[in-house]
């Protein structure tokens, strides 16, 4: 980033110097008046006229409200002979003074040093400072923003090449994205190699992917590898309430880029400025559309041989304007997806570099337990593990610290102060064992990794973690039905063991309904509708649901089909629990005692043919509603 200007600055607050100056002025004024003015005695007007008639008065100053005079034998500045009295309307005063030979004059109007500063200097200084502050505010200098007089100035931050610049070695888990960008870096390094055969540098590349996958980090790494300046700006920085301000900022940004070429311009969240142009009445946004039009014109107008590359990042590519995505503007679309198992392991190792890690740390195990985690999530896990290691007094980050950090990031911290009544705690344990037992018996379900009934700050009173041994890019209908059966197993266990149900299944119901609806409307896995698409829209990277594209009658049938799938899954889960009622009761009691049960231990107990040791450790039998 540009170095700040090194200017001399006075220490302390400016108000201190203002108060100090006022104190000095008052002190100097008081000292001057005491030296020049002297002491004054006050007499009444009759005494004054009597002293004049007796010839005791030598000089008189006649003011508008006060008459100042000195007696003979002193001077006007003699403190011992100076008097004053109240001026009254006396038409014979001047005649009397002439009669007795008294010299007189009018009041000497003059301002003291304090009066001059108070009347002239301070008001001028105040208004001068006010005008300076207003101008600086309008220019955006008070807070680093863009003011009314700086509408056309770009707020892009410029990062110059330095020893701390990001490199591709700082990016892990995105090998395909890095390979797609290496050519841009090579072109910036060796432009003549490409120009010799007539090849042109791609004007832009669009990075798309879920939040937290490292789109900004990759753009910084490209600039660091190429060794060129890097302009960073958010798409929302171009959109203002004043029409024309955004377009002016786009022009200024590319003007700066031309001066710094070769360079990289990175526009984060480009969907804020590049959203599809719409003419449907109230949806028209003149300011945003003018900014987009200016961006399109600038990307068409600049010379690619100068080495200016525009990188954009978004997690909503489906709403971008087609004119922005066409070749010649953003020539390449690079997917920055969630890392796979190998990628997650590499990301963990990158973020663990500055951390003192223990020798027994198994990154593969942590990577398997964090399916669907982004790079930002994995970085947070490493940091949480380091914080826990410090709290626990460990000399380095141990495996148990990493496993606890995974739980913290997924479900929140432990709520140790929460007291759960014994009956409710038993129902929670039964609920989680129901999930785990059905998952173990379902052929297409992922293996159980961990079961816990320790409350978490996310609101979870317990959870069952499943970790698949292999990575999947496709899911069969059987896989999804098995997942639905596992989700219904918690509620099924409650009803089977206690004859009632609780609010603990709310999250399960939400996931279950979304999955069943997707099978019907998006995946074509319903016998009633077949391969008919009933939903459109939504975001592939933000997890936003789409909208039904069918009639109201069909929507009713969709609801009925979803209800049927859920009902069949619930019946399947109930049947499995009935067939393993004894194990359900035993494992529930064991989990109540241990509170946390690992997957291997769970499977060992489940597959044991003689659970005498388990029965000895178990809690008292379940209530009357327990069939076991």
Q: Which residues are catalytic?
A: 432
Q: Phi and psi dihedrals of 69, rounded to 5?
A: -145, 160
DSSP 8-state code for residue 81: G
Task: Confirm if 349 and 362 have CB atoms less than 8 A apart.
Answer: no
Q: How is residue 540 written in tokens?
A: 């592939």
Choose among 212, 223, 213, 218: nearest CA to 180: 218
**Burial class, 204, CB count within 10 angstroms (exposed 0-12 / middle 13-18 / buried 19+):** buried
Using CA atoms, how far apart are residues 253 and 155, in angstroms rounded to an integer?
8
Q: Phi and psi dihedrals of 448, rounded to 5?
A: -80, 130
Using CA atoms, how far apart are residues 449 and 429, in angstroms rounded to an integer?
16
Hunting for tokens 């994995």 — which residue is that? 378
Where are the alpha helices (H) located in 445-502, listed in sequence order?
A: 477-498
Q: Measured on CA atoms in the order 150, 151, 152, 156, is the torsion positive or negative?
A: positive
DSSP 8-state code for residue 395: S
Q: How is residue 255 written in tokens?
A: 């003007």
What is the biggest distance separating any 2 CA atoms in the chain, rounded to whole angstroms?
A: 140
DSSP assignment of 491-558: HHHHHHHHSS--GGGHHHHHHHHHHHHHHHHTS--BTTTBT---EE--BTTTTB--EE-S-HHHHHHH
């Amino acid at each position: 980033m540009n170095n700040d200007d090194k200017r001399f600055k006075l220490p302390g607050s400016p108000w201190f110097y203002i108060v100090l100056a006022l104190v000095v002025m008052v002190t100097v004024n008081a000292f001057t008046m005491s030296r020049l003015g002297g002491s004054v005695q006050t007499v009444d007007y009759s005494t004054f006229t009597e002293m004049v008639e007796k010839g005791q008065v030598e000089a008189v100053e006649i003011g508008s409200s006060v008459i100042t005079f000195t007696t003979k034998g002193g001077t006007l500045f003699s403190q011992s002979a100076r008097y004053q009295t109240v001026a009254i309307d006396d038409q014979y005063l001047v005649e009397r003074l002439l009669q007795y030979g008294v010299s007189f004059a009018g009041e000497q109007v003059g301002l003291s040093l304090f009066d001059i500063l108070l009347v002239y200097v301070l008001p001028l200084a105040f208004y001068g400072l006010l005008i300076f502050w207003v101008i600086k505010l309008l220019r955006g200098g008070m807070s680093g923003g863009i003011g009314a007089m700086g509408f056309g100035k770009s707020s892009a931050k410029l990062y110059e090449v330095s020893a701390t610049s990001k490199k591709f070695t700082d990016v892990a888990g995105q090998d395909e994205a890095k390979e797609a960008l290496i050519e841009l870096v090579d072109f910036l390094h060796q432009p003549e190699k490409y120009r010799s055969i007539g090849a042109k540098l791609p004007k832009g590349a669009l990075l798309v992917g879920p939040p937290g996958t490292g789109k900004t980090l990759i753009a910084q790494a490209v600039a660091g590898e190429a060794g060129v300046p890097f302009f960073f700006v958010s798409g929302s920085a171009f959109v203002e309430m004043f029409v024309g301000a955004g377009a002016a900022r786009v022009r200024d940004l590319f003007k700066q880029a031309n001066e710094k070429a070769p360079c990289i311009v990175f526009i984060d969240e480009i969907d804020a400025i590049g959203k599809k142009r719409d003419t449907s009445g109230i949806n028209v946004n003149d300011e945003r559309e003018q900014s987009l039009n200016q961006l399109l014109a600038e990307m068409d107008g600049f010379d690619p041989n100068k080495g200016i590359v525009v990188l954009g990042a978004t997690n909503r590519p489906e709403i971008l304007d087609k004119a922005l995505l066409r070749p010649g503007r953003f020539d390449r679309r690079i997917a920055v997806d969630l890392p796979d198992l190998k990628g997650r392991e590499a990301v963990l190792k990158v973020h663990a570099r500055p951390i003192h890690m223990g020798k027994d740390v198994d990154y593969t195990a942590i990577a398997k337990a964090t399916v669907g985690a982004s790079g930002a999530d994995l970085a947070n896990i490493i940091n949480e593990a380091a914080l826990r290691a410090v709290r626990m007094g460990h000399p380095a980050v141990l495996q148990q610290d990493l496993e606890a950090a995974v739980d913290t990031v997924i479900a929140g911290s432990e709520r140790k102060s929460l007291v759960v009544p014994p009956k409710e705690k038993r129902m929670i344990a039964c609920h989680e064992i129901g999930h785990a037992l059905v998952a173990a018996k379902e052929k297409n379900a992922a293996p159980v990794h961990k079961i816990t009934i320790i409350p978490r700050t996310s609101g979870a009173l317990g959870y069952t973690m499943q970790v698949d041994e292999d990575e999947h890019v496709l899911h069969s209908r059987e896989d999804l039905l098995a997942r639905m059966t596992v989700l219904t197993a918690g509620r099924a266990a409650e009803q089977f063991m206690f004859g009632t149900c609780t609010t603990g299944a709310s999250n399960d119901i939400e996931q279950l309904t979304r999955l069943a609806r997707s099978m019907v409307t998006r995946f074509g896995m319903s016998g009633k509708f077949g391969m008919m698409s009933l939903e459109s829209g939504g975001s592939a990277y933000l997890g936003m649901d789409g909208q039904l594209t069918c009639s109201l009658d069909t929507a009713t049938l969709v609801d009925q089909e979803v209800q049927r799938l859920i009902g069949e899954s619930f019946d399947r889960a109930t049947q499995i629990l009935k067939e393993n009622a004894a194990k359900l009761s035993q494992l529930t009691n064991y989990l109540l005692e241990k509170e946390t049960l690992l997957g291997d231990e769970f499977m060992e107990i489940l597959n044991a043919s003689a659970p005498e040791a388990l029965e000895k450790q178990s809690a008292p039998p379940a209530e009357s509603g327990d069939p076991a």
